[in-house]
Amino acid sequence: MKSLIAFYNILKKDITNYYLKPPNISWGIIFPLSWTMMQLLRSVDSSILELLPGLISTSVLFGTTSMLAVTITFERSGRSFERLLLAPISLNTLMLAKITGTILFGMFNAFVPIIFAGFFINLSDINWIIVILAVFLIAVTSSLMGLLIAVSAQQVFEAQTISNFFRFPMLFLCGLFIPISSLPVFLKPLSYCLPLTYGADILKGAITSNNSFSYTLCFVMLLIFTVGLFTVSKYAIEKKQNQ
Amino acid sequence: MTMICVKNLTKKYGNFTAVDDISFDVKKGEIFGFLGPNGAGKTSTINMMIGLLKPNSGKITINEIDVIKQAKKAQEIMGIVADESNLYNEMDGFANLCFCGALYGMGKKERESKARELLKLFRLQDAGNRPFKAYSKGMKRKLTIAAALIHSPEMLFLDEPTTGIDVESSRQIRELILQLKNQGTTIFITTHYIEEAERLCDRIAFIVQGKIVASGTVFQLMNNVSHSHNINLITNKDVQDYTTALQKRFKEITVTVKKPDELVIKTAKRIPLLPILKFLHEKDIEVYEAKEIHPSLEDVFVKLTGIETSVLQKEKGGF
Ligand SMILES: Nc1ncnc2c1ncn2[C@@H]1O[C@H](COP(=O)(O)OP(=O)(O)O)[C@@H](O)[C@H]1O
Ligand SMILES: [Mg+2]
Give me the CATH number covering residue B176: 3.40.50.300
CA distance A144 to chain B (A): 22
Q: Which domain holds residue A13?
A: 2-242
Residue A176 has pLDDT above 70, yes or no: yes
Question: Which of A5, A80, A83 is facing B105, going by the closest CB pair?
Answer: A5
- Cα-to-centroid distance, B307 and ligand 1 (Å): 18
Is the CB of residue B145 less than 8 Å away from at least one CB of chain A?
A: no
Q: What is the pLDDT of residue B317?
A: 46
Give Rg (Cα) of chain B.
25
- Cα-to-centroid distance, B53 and ligand 1 (Å): 12
B103 and B170 share a domain?
A: yes
B166 and B237 share a domain?
A: no
Residues of B in contact with A17 (CB under 8 A): 88, 90-91
**Exposed, middle or buried: residue B310 (CB in 10 Å: 0-12, 13-18, 19+)?**
exposed
How many domains does chain A divide into? 1
- Cα-to-centroid distance, A210 and ligand 1 (Å): 58
Residue A226 has pLDDT above 50, yes or no: yes
Residues of B in contact with A83 (CB under 8 A): 86, 100, 103
Please give the mean pLDDT across all residues of chain A. Answer: 88
Is any atom of ligand 1 closer than 6 Å to the C-beta of B40? yes
CB interface of A with B, residues 40-69, below 8 Å? none
B134 and B283 share a domain?
A: no
B100 and B215 share a domain?
A: yes
Q: What is the pLDDT of residue A46?
A: 61
Q: Which domain holds residue B278?
A: 229-293
Is any atom of ligand 1 closer than 6 Å to the C-beta of B42? yes
How many CB pairs below 8 A link A and B?
A: 65
Question: Which of A2, A84, A90 is facing B105, going by the closest CB pair?
Answer: A2
Residues of B in contact with A78 (CB under 8 A): 86, 89
CA distance B318 to chain A (A): 21
Average pLDDT over residues B226-244: 86
CA distance B161 to chain A (A): 16
- Cα-to-centroid distance, A240 and ligand 2 (Å): 19
Positive or negative, the CA dihedral B14, B307, B169, B74 is positive
- The CATH number given to whatever domain includes residue B242 is 3.30.70.1560
B142 and B240 share a domain?
A: no
* Residue with CA nearest ligand 1 atom 12: B18
Is the CB of residue A125 less than 8 Å away from at least one CB of chain B?
A: no
Percent over 70 (pLDDT), chain B: 97
B131 and B93 share a domain?
A: yes
B161 and B252 share a domain?
A: no
Say if residues B93 and B124 touch (Cβ distance below 8 Å).
yes
B308 found inside a domain = no
Residue B315 has pLDDT above 70, yes or no: no
Domain boundary among B224, B240, B264: B224
B182 and B238 share a domain?
A: no
**CA of B207, closest atom in ligand 1:** 22
B234 and B122 share a domain?
A: no
At A88, the amino acid letter reads P
Q: What is the pLDDT of residue B86?
A: 94
Average pLDDT over residues B57-71: 96
The residues that bridge with B190 in the sheet, in sequence order, are B34, B159
Average pLDDT over residues B178-203: 96
Residues of B in contact with A89 (CB under 8 A): 72, 103
B139 and B264 share a domain?
A: no
pLDDT band with cut points at 50, 70 and 90 for residue B319 = very low
Residue B159 has pLDDT above 80, yes or no: yes
Is the CB of residue A243 less than 8 Å away from at least one CB of chain B?
A: yes
B212 found inside a domain = yes
Which residue among B10, B12, B15, B16 has the greatest number of ligand 1 atoms within 8 angstroms of its CB, and so is best to mutate?
B16
Report how far residue B108's alpha carbon sits from residue A9's, in angstroms, rounded to the nearest whole number: 10
Average pLDDT over residues A104-124: 88
Report how far residue A20's alpha carbon sits from residue A154's, in angstroms, rounded to the nearest whole number: 24
Q: What is the pLDDT of residue A45?
A: 56
B49 and B165 share a domain?
A: yes
pLDDT band with cut points at 50, 70 and 90 for residue A47 = confident
For residue B63, CA distances in Å to B6, B26, B27, B31, B58 come to 12, 10, 10, 15, 17
Is the CB of residue B91 less than 8 Å away from at least one CB of chain A?
A: yes
Across A19-28, A167-176, A179-188, B24-33, least confident range: A19-28
Percent over 70 (pLDDT), chain A: 98
pLDDT band with cut points at 50, 70 and 90 for residue A160 = confident
Report how far residue B214's alpha carbon sits from residue B219's, in angstroms, rounded to the nearest whole number: 12
Cα torsion B162, B166, B172, B173 to 10°: value is -20
pLDDT band with cut points at 50, 70 and 90 for residue B226 = low
Instruction: Tell me the DSSP string of chain B.
Output: -EEEEEEEEEEEETTEEEEEEEEEEEETT-EEEEE--TTSSHHHHHHHHTTSS--SEEEEEETTEETTT-HHHHHTTEEEE-SS--S-TTSBHHHHHHHHHHHTT--HHHHHHHHHHHHHHTT-GGGTTSBGGGS-HHHHHHHHHHHHHTT--SEEEEESTTTTS-HHHHHHHHHHHHHHHHTT-EEEEEES-HHHHHHH-SEEEEEETTEEEEEE-HHHHHHHS---EEEEEEESS--GGGHHHHHHH-TTEEEEEEETTEEEEEESS---SHHHHHHHHHTT--EEEEEEEPPPHHHHHHHHH---HHHHHPPTT--
B278 and B177 share a domain?
A: no
Q: Which residues contact B146 (CB under 8 A, 6 or more apart)?
A: B97, B118, B119, B121, B122, B124
- Cα-to-centroid distance, B264 and ligand 2 (Å): 41
A120 Cα distance to chain centroid = 26
How many domains does chain B divide into? 2
pLDDT band with cut points at 50, 70 and 90 for residue B318 = very low
Q: What is the pLDDT of residue A225?
A: 96
Q: What is the pLDDT of residue A163?
A: 84
Positive or negative, the CA dihedral A208, A211, A215, A221 is negative
Is any atom of ligand 1 closer than 6 Å to the C-beta of B216? no
A36 Cα distance to chain centroid = 17
- Cα-to-centroid distance, A34 and ligand 2 (Å): 48
Average pLDDT over residues B150-168: 96
Is the CB of residue A23 less than 8 Å away from at least one CB of chain B?
A: no
* Residue with CA nearest ligand 1 atom 7: B13
Interface touch A13/B91, C-beta < 8 Å: yes
